[in-house]
Amino acid sequence: MAERVNRNVEWVVDDDGTVTGYQVRPGDKRPIGGGGTLPSQTARGAVKATSSATPTDGSFAVFPDQACTELEVFNDQRVPIEFQRNGAGAVITLLAGQRRRFAGITNANQIGFRRSDWAVPGRTQPTTISAMAVTRTDTYTFAGTLSLAVAGGAYVAFGNLACTAMELNNAAEHDVVFRIGGAGIEYKIRHGESALILGITNANQVQQKAADSIARQARPLEAECWTTGPNASMLLTQRADMISADADIVNSEFNYPNLMPAGAILTLGNLRPVHRLRKKPVPLARWLTTADVVTNRAADFANAANGELAFGTSIVEYTQTQTAEVSIAPSAALAAGVDVQNGSIHFTHCWPDNAGNNFGVNGPTGFYIELHSAGTPAAPTANFHTSPNLNGLWQGFMGASVLGYNLLRCFSLPISHFTATGTGADLASIKWARIKITGGGSSNGCKMRPVSLDFVPNALAKGSVIFTFDDLHDGAWNNALPIMSKYNFPGVLCMDTTVKMGQTGYLTPEQISKMHRDYGWEVAYQVYQNETGFNLSSEDWMRQVGKWVLAMNRIGIHETQNGSYGSGTVTNIDEERTMAAKRALATLRRFANGQNAQYPFRSAETVPYGDPYNIRCLNMTSGFTAGTVYDRWKDHVDQAIAAKGVAVFACHGEFNAAGEALTALGSLCDYIRTQELAGTCQVVTFAGLNKQAYGI
């Protein structure tokens, strides 16, 4: 027997049970002959059953009396349907759009069904399912249906049940891997797929776990077990990977990822701060070759050939070889001074692929930026402005684990954070800038590629605040929304689409849509299926973003420009994945911990952003002493107001219940409203701020 994917043929089963054909949707699999002998098959006609008028009782609707050896069922509903044999035991779930054979029966009335949302009043409803009853000459001896809760972590095995074949059915909202006999090769079953396992003697030989290690709500993995037959999958419709003419996303199915086909990604281009700004940056220093560098350690600098095209294909590479102070200055001062009093200084750089031995791992203890209005790079004066020690930036939000290599990155510092040395520089007429490194590791070979120091004028005349809400906690709807909506303040939902949406304690699609439509909240990408999505290949990550965009469009959300790194423990954001992110999203936010004592939260994020793909964000309650939450939040808002930057807050479960955080949110909104009326502050979304600062 062979199988083929049939995208053109349609058969129809009429409502009165007359078989005049059968509908075969794109992606369906149907057996056809080809060199072998197929079992004879007699169609007994169509049967149908309707669930109870009070479907919340959880009862199963049973198909009518019809002698047959199997039922072929197609789920044409918008929700998963749960099927049960003989009125007891575990269920087999059929996702929307799937078709399945239930073999090893003697009558259609051995199969019953109910909707998966039967326990949700107001959503579930009486439902009719049709099936085709068939009698075949081949033999199937059914042993039983099993269900096993699978979550992140260790392997778990099914219970004791003698069988020679098992078909796993993955209707959970995450991919699953299984193995046989407690060892051996893992095999992955993606959501919406099944796997037929032959040659076993007991169900307890099969072990499974979630494909990733993220802690999640345990979800059932289902299995049908046999002692005789089958030799082909009972699931006739596997997941669709391609967009076809009748591809669809079902409203209540967003936590079923692979039912949603991948598609074209919304492409918004590159928002790195040196491009597409309303107010263009002014270079104070630029290093493309060693000829552009004035330094006291010339031997530690070399030309590299794989620089980014925007700066020429060459780039300078610095190798740390000793602990003494190192100066990195441009070859000449500017002819005319630059007024830097209303803006920020941006440092663009990259780290070469050097076995992880870069500034984020093994860098110096001191890193400073100096601004000079007099003297020359070769003969500086003692009067200049200097930044604080920025070394904390490397570990605070520029960590090696999240930056990758050979990528241009940028961070920024408001000019108000520079202080005078000697009599200081004339900030209205800065002519050159340099980097000063102190306390480098002795001969450790740590590398860094400096590219430029630029002055970027403030894009706005006021500070901004963005409230972001991670992980879809329903406290955003129950508690935060009523407070913020009194002031007409929007928020940003960083979506965990399939991991949590619609589960107990988390936002539903209806709530998300209303927050966006009626209250102006932005919906941003964080997770489609895997919390550690960036640990996937870039192709798989792009596929997840594409499915997420389609899912959001389905509930009326079309502004899907921005995103967030899915976890503070993401470890694989390398060049390939970052370039994928730049194709898919306009910005990426990354949350971090800590109060205001050190960078990155000694200053708010600048506008334009220091790096649109590494936007600094304050985790709202991590590390705060009890009784100081409001003060720390207000401090951060004040930083944004002073620098004409943006205070980005990340909330998780802080607003799920009454407490200090919820009280502080009301007080903070009161304070921001006072500043808003004074013209010094605004509450915006990423999409709104991007339009103001970048013109997109």
Q: Round to whole Å and give the CA distance between 523 and 543.
A: 18
Looking at residue 482, its pLDDT comes to 96
Q: What is the pTM of this model?
A: 0.68
The more confident residue out of 16 and 433 is 433
495 three-state secondary structure: strand
Partnered with residue 91 across adjacent β-strands are 84
Torsion over CA: 457, 461, 463, 465 (sign): negative
The helices-and-strands tally (H runs, E runs) of the chain is 12, 38
Looking at residue 411, its pLDDT comes to 82
Q: What confidence tier does 25 reach under pLDDT thresholds 50, 70, 90?
A: very low
114 three-state secondary structure: strand
Per-residue pLDDT of 429-469, as tens digits, reads 999 999 999 886 666 788 888 989 999 999 999 999 999 99
- Which domains are seen in the chain, by residue range? 40-136 (2.60.120), 139-240 (2.60.120), 282-457 (2.60.120), 463-694 (3.20.20.370)
**Cross-sheet strand order for the sheet of 141-150:** 141-150, 219-228, 165-169, 194-198
Euclidean distance between the first and final Cα of the chain, in Å? Answer: 56
580 three-state secondary structure: helix
pLDDT(316) > 60: yes
Looking at residue 394, its pLDDT comes to 58
Query: Average pLDDT for residues 46-63, to the nearest whole number?
Result: 85
Q: What confidence tier does 515 reach under pLDDT thresholds 50, 70, 90?
A: very high
Looking at residue 323, its pLDDT comes to 84
pLDDT(527) > 60: yes
Answer yes or no: are the C-beta atoms of 566 and 532 closer than 8 Å.
yes
Q: Round to whole Å and give the CA distance between 532 and 470.
A: 14
pLDDT(55) > 50: yes
Q: Which of 23-27, 276-280, 543-547 has the lowest mean pLDDT?
A: 23-27
Which has the closest alpha carbon to 73: 111, 17, 26? 111
Answer yes or no: are the C-beta atoms of 70 and 102 closer than 8 Å.
yes
Looking at residue 193, its pLDDT comes to 86
Per-residue pLDDT of 325-344, as tens digits, reads 999 999 999 999 999 999 99
Per-residue pLDDT of 70-90, as tens digits, reads 999 998 887 789 999 999 989
What single letter denotes the amino acid at residue 212? D
Task: Work out the percent of the chain whose per-residue pLDDT is above 90.
Answer: 41
Torsion over CA: 648, 652, 657, 658 (sign): negative
How big is the CA angle at 574 (ends 572 and 576), to the nearest 5 degrees?
120
253 three-state secondary structure: helix
Q: Round to whole Å and give the CA distance between 189 and 170.
A: 7
